[in-house]
Amino acid sequence: MQNASSDSKYRTIRPAFTETTPTEHMRETIDIHCNEGTCSRIAIGSVEEDFASMLPEDSPRVIIVTDARVHSNNLAFINSYERIVIGQGESSKTLVKVEEVYRQLLAMGADRSTFIVGMGGGIVSDITGFAASTYMRGVRFAFVPTTLLAQVDASIGGKNGVNLDGYKNIIGVFRQPEFVLCDPSLLSSLPDREFRAGLAEVIKAGIIGDPTLFELLERHTFEDLRGNDELLRDAIVRAIKVKTAIVERDECEHGERRKLNLGHTFAHAMEKSFTNLSHGEAVAAGMAIICDAANRKGILDTATCDRIKAVIGKMGLPLEYPVEMRKLLSLIRSDKKREGSGIYLVFPKSIGDCIVEKTATDRLEEMFPGNRPTETSSVESESENME
Residue 137 known to be catalytic: yes
Query: Which is the catalytic residue, given 264, 272, 309, 337?
Result: 264
Integer Cα distance of 148 and 232 in angstroms: 10
Query: Which is the catalytic residue, given 137, 254, 372, 375?
Result: 137
Residue 253 known to be catalytic: yes
Residue 220 known to be catalytic: no
Query: Which is the catalytic residue, given 97, 175, 258, 279?
Result: 279
Cβ–Cβ < 8 Å for 307, 218 = yes
Residues 28-45: b if buried by 16+ CB within 10 A, e if exposed:
bbbbbebeeeeebbbbbb
Helices (H), the chain: 47-54, 68-73, 75-78, 95-107, 122-134, 148-149, 192-209, 211-219, 222-227, 229-249, 264-273, 279-297, 302-314, 325-332, 364-367
Query: Which is the catalytic residue, given 253, 271, 281, 387?
Result: 253
The phi-psi region of residue 136 (left if phi > 0; otherwise alpha if psi is between -120 and 50; otherwise beta) is left
Query: Which is the catalytic residue, given 268, 272, 309, 337?
Result: 268
Residue 254 known to be catalytic: no
Query: Which is the catalytic residue, given 243, 258, 259, 337?
Result: 243
Query: Which is the catalytic residue, given 178, 201, 251, 281?
Result: 201
Single out the residue of 42, 78, 51 nearest to residue 63, CA to CA.
Answer: 78
Query: Which is the catalytic residue, given 74, 163, 228, 261?
Result: 261
Query: Which is the catalytic residue, given 241, 257, 258, 259?
Result: 257
Query: Which is the catalytic residue, given 159, 241, 258, 259?
Result: 159
Residue 268 known to be catalytic: yes
Active site residues: 137, 159, 201, 243, 253, 257, 261, 264, 268, 279
